[in-house]
Chains A and B, each alone.
Chain A
Amino acid sequence: MFKGVDFFPHGTKWKIIEKRVLFVGISWALAIISAILLMTRGLNYGVDFKGGSLIEIQAKGPTIDVASLRETLNKLGFGELQVQAAGTNGALIRVGQQPAADEAGEAKAQEAANAKIKEALAANYDWRRTEVVGAAVSSELKMTGVYAVIAAIFGILLYVWFRFEWQFAVAAVVALVHDVFITMGMFSILWYEFDLSVVAALLTLAGYSINDTVVVFDRIRENLRKYKKMPLIELLNASINDTLSRTVLTSVVTGLAVLALYVFGTSVIHGFAFAMLFGILIGTYSSIFVASPLLLWFGVKRDWSDDAAKPAPGMKAKA
């Protein structure tokens, strides 16, 4: 009977904690670069957050000439239109909010612009979808997005705090925020559209990236109780090395699933899939190289001899 190939090296003794300044330094550098990018270049906000309309079209032939399309569209007189390629022969056209006196007028003006554009392109292109978001709704969606991210991070913080000590919770959340930030920085560099589905991906990422971190923390806590005499650095190193196979393999498996989404998904799901893919990568990195050093710096308690083991919800406490 095939027993499977245990290809992941065991018993590794990588000195991760010793090099913590390097690893955490790298992640901090990436986070700061992301912050600078977000402040200067900003994000390619989708219509969900900026308002206006998005029209997706597909060329009737196998290829699309985005440059000439942009030229044709800009001549129509609706302001500067953003045109991005989507897939092999598609394009996403973004039309800014056409100005008008009031909400009703804005809706009508936008409608007129959309209709004109569709008309102008009908000969050579097929229409795929239209998304129009008014100013009122886009500001609501922005607020909802921000609340959701804050609520999720807060909820996760509370849960990890409930299961572990506060140092663990803070370290986990700092690693998590760093992951989300760097992923956003990536979106700034690549200028992928940042819409609601990307925010959903970031939220999912928040929940998922904690998984790996919790696996490591679980082991650390177990070891803290078992090896009371071991120096902290050695213990942390051992914990990370022990759980290495688990953190990497779970990320590989989920990564495979998300890769399928990224490769085969339509333009609608593209931003989401990329955010998840990159986020899994960065999340694994932070779980292995960043979360534990943070624990060290936050001063995790060394003496656990008087602490009864905290059981997982649903399990009875073990003696």
Chain B
Amino acid sequence: MMYFSRGKTLTILAICLAGLLACIPNFLSNETFKSLPSWAQHRIGLGLDLRGGAHLLMAMDSDQLKKDWLTTLRDDARKNLREAKIGFNGIAATGSNVQIRLTKPEDAEKATAALKKLSNSITSARFAGAADLNIAQGPEAGLITMEPTSAGIQDRVTNAAAASIETVRRRIDALGTTEPNIVRQGSDRILIQVPGVEDTAALKRLIGETAKLAFYEVHPSVTAEEARSGRVPSGYKLFKADPKDVESAGREYVLRENPVVDGGDLADAHASFEQRTNEPIISFRFNQSGARKFGNFTKDNVGRPFAIVLDDKVLSAPVIREAILGGSGQISGSYTPESANQLAIQLRSGALPAKLTVVEERTVGANLGQDSIDAGKRAAIVGMIAVVAFMVFAYGLLGIFASIGAALHVVLVFAIMSVLGSTMTLPGIAGIVLTIGMSVDANVLIYERIREELRAGKQPIAAIEAGFDRAYGTIIDSQLTTFIAGLVMFLLGSGPIRGFAVTLTLGIITTVFTAFTVTRLLVAWWLAAQKTRKIDAPLAYKMVRT
């Protein structure tokens, strides 16, 4: 065990050197770092708990997605059946499906064929080929049920999540913050990490709202009160006024179901100030098709009001004074410069398919972040000193070898984390401090075994051999059990727990490495030095003997 071939020695030294080099990028300033060749640009990232910033886990409202889909299905079904000239008595969307009552039950086959056109096959890999819609007849004659399959719903949620991520990214990018991290978690959750942001309230408002903008035609004659007490005219729907608008709170409007133009037709939106009153407004501009639709609508309806609706709440219902052909306009109301800017950003980035709700938040202030870095550094340094002092006190020169091994082990952990681009968190630092203790443990096991062999009467060199030899199995056992715990934490944990598990498992691997290579190498060198200096056994014996 004490013999190291030249090849082995060089390999060990090379690994240590590589480790040291890999750590260097972490200490360079930003400019120097960027000037490095791309293969060298690897360094450890700072977690949010050390940098300060917002960590938000948001869930998509999948129920809303399903409801919207059913509503669209119902409207499309109505259109298809009309085109196919199939009569129907009623068509309604329930909580989980769309039910159609045909006037003539014999039409069932024809109707099913017409409706099948609405079903799509799912393109995602998991459910490839499956239909997203189930169209069934019965149980009564003339009743057709269109029900989304669970695969279909899953697919839709996945796509919506992907679209949401893009929209959220655009909104956050508009804020100009540095490198936000936006990823999907699970099937309907999005994780957003924005360093440097401390006021999460504004951020949540920006990201959470769907910002669905649309312009609707107001019913020319029927008022909301009449519709409430009587019947809502077919093709129209009741909309409530925006609760934030104090003047018209509680008012309702009768609007046509399908909007004239909506957010999808928007080309641009930005916040500005009204020329005369200087109040904050949002100016917007439609794209070509939107401008055309809007222009035709306003041309035909001069003198009548139209409704501006945001997230299904009526913002205002101004009267059309003249045809608006240019395709641009303004939204005004009780907006502050901030809220106007926020809405402009939301409109520009597109509407979210469904509302996002915060289900988990962990936001750390920059002050605490800095304090945590300082505390972590202090704990690591003090821990290192305490451990080194103890080892030198208890084992002398061998203790120094163990300390060198421990220091190199920390360097190697940093090196691996740098190459992987891992993130360092406070629990991660705790993991490193812990593994400093554990790496020295391994050496204690070896040295105590050596002392035991010496007490049993072995010669020093043989005792050292035997010590390393016998301790090997015990060290593997002890490190492996902690490794199992670290692995479980890594697989099942998230966030800070994961950070801890990473440094713990890496620390264990490098501990075993340094204990059995670096420390052994140092001892072997020292032994060889004793031999070549022709200092005979008695002195070497005195060196290690207790």
Q: Is B273 among interface residues, defined by CB-CB distance under 8 A?
A: no
- Chain A residues near B501 (CB, 8 Å)? 200
- Most chain B CB neighbours (cut-off 10 Å) among A10, A104, A311: A104
CB-defined interface of A57-90 with B at 8 Å, one 1/0 digit per residue? Answer: 0000000000000000000000000000000000
Interface 9-mer from B132-140, B150-158, B426-434: B426-434
A214 touches B478 (CB 8 A): yes
Q: How far is the CA of A242 from the CA of B474 in the complex (A)?
A: 15
Q: Which one of A144, A147, A211, A265 lies within 8 Å of B482 (CB-CB)? A: A211
A4 touches B473 (CB 8 A): no
Q: How far is the CA of A264 from the CA of B496 in the complex (A)?
A: 19
- Chain A residues near B436 (CB, 8 Å)? 257
A311 touches B544 (CB 8 A): no
Whether A215 touches B478, Cβ cut-off 8 Å, given contacts A126-B367, A315-B472, is yes
A268 touches B426 (CB 8 A): yes
B382 touches A254 (CB 8 A): no
Q: Is B372 among interface residues, defined by CB-CB distance under 8 A?
A: yes
A272 touches B444 (CB 8 A): no
- Chain B residues near A163 (CB, 8 Å)? 477
- Chain A residues near B365 (CB, 8 Å)? 126-129
Which residue on B lies nearest to A202, using beta carbons? B485
Q: Which one of B61, B455, B493 lies within 8 Å of A148 (CB-CB)? A: B493
CB-defined interface of A95-117 with B at 8 Å, one 1/0 digit per residue? Answer: 00000000110010001000100
Q: Is A197 among interface residues, defined by CB-CB distance under 8 A?
A: yes
Interface 9-mer from B171-179, B240-248, B344-352, B353-361: B353-361
Q: Which one of B387, B396, B485 lies within 8 Å of A207 (CB-CB)? A: B485
- Chain B residues near A179 (CB, 8 Å)? none
Q: How far is the CA of A5 from the CA of B480 in the complex (A)?
A: 30
Q: Is B362 among interface residues, defined by CB-CB distance under 8 A?
A: yes
- Most chain A CB neighbours (cut-off 10 Å) among B59, B372, B448, B543: B448
Q: Is B492 among interface residues, defined by CB-CB distance under 8 A?
A: yes
Grouping DSSP codes into helix (H, G, I), strand (E, B) and loop, the B interface class, with mixed when no group exceeds half, is helix
Smallest CB–CB gap between B204 and chain A, Å?
Answer: 7
B394 touches A7 (CB 8 A): yes
- Most chain A CB neighbours (cut-off 10 Å) among B201, B379, B476, B487: B379
Q: Which one of A131, A242, A253 lies within 8 Å of B440 (CB-CB)? A: A253
Whether A312 touches B476, Cβ cut-off 8 Å, given contacts A148-B492, A203-B488, A257-B433, is yes
- Chain B residues near A269 (CB, 8 Å)? 375, 426-427, 430
Q: Is A134 among interface residues, defined by CB-CB distance under 8 A?
A: yes
A260 touches B379 (CB 8 A): yes
Which residue on B lies nearest to A215, using beta carbons? B474
Which residue on B lies nearest to A249, using beta carbons? B444
Q: Is B500 among interface residues, defined by CB-CB distance under 8 A?
A: yes
A3 touches B546 (CB 8 A): yes
Smallest CB–CB gap between B68 and chain A, Å?
Answer: 16
A254 touches B441 (CB 8 A): yes
B542 touches A10 (CB 8 A): no
B504 touches A107 (CB 8 A): no
Q: Is B147 among interface residues, defined by CB-CB distance under 8 A?
A: no
Interface 9-mer from A29-37, A152-160, A183-191: A152-160
Q: Is B4 among interface residues, defined by CB-CB distance under 8 A?
A: no
Interface range on chain A (Cβ under 8 Å from partner):
35 or more
- Chain A residues near B399 (CB, 8 Å)? 4
Q: How far is the CA of A242 from the CA of B49 in the complex (A)?
A: 45
Q: Is B69 among interface residues, defined by CB-CB distance under 8 A?
A: no
- Most chain B CB neighbours (cut-off 10 Å) among A137, A253, A254, A255: A253
Smallest CB–CB gap between B7 and chain A, Å?
Answer: 20
Q: Is A258 among interface residues, defined by CB-CB distance under 8 A?
A: yes
- Chain A residues near B434 (CB, 8 Å)? 204, 254, 257-258, 261, 276
Q: Is B489 among interface residues, defined by CB-CB distance under 8 A?
A: yes
CB-defined interface of A303-319 with B at 8 Å, one 1/0 digit per residue? Answer: 00000000111110000
Smallest CB–CB gap between B419 and chain A, Å?
Answer: 25
Whether A1 touches B481, Cβ cut-off 8 Å, given contacts A56-B368, A215-B445, is no
Q: Which one of A115, A160, A211, A259 lies within 8 Å of B201 (CB-CB)? A: A115
Q: Is B111 among interface residues, defined by CB-CB distance under 8 A?
A: no
CB-defined interface of B271-293 with A at 8 Å, one 1/0 digit per residue? Answer: 00000000000000000000000
A261 touches B481 (CB 8 A): no
Known: A133-B361, A211-B479, A264-B375. 12 other contacts (CB 8 A): A1-B397, A4-B397, A137-B360, A144-B492, A196-B493, A208-B482, A210-B481, A246-B445, A249-B444, A257-B433, A266-B426, A315-B473
A-B contact pairs, 19 of them (CB 8 A): A126-B367, A131-B361, A132-B360, A151-B492, A156-B481, A196-B493, A197-B427, A200-B489, A200-B497, A204-B486, A211-B478, A242-B452, A254-B437, A254-B440, A256-B390, A257-B437, A260-B382, A265-B379, A272-B430
Using a CB–CB cutoff of 8 Å, the interface residues on chain B facing chain A are 49, 57, 59, 61, 198, 200-201, 204, 355, 357-365, 367-368, 371-372, 375-376, 378-380, 382-383, 386-387, 390-399, 426-427, 430, 433-434, 436-438, 440-441, 444-445, 448-449, 451-452, 455, 472-474, 476-489, 492-494, 496-497, 500-501, 504, 542-546
Q: Which 6 A-B pairs have the closest CB atoms?
A: A207-B485, A257-B437, A312-B473, A207-B482, A4-B396, A211-B478
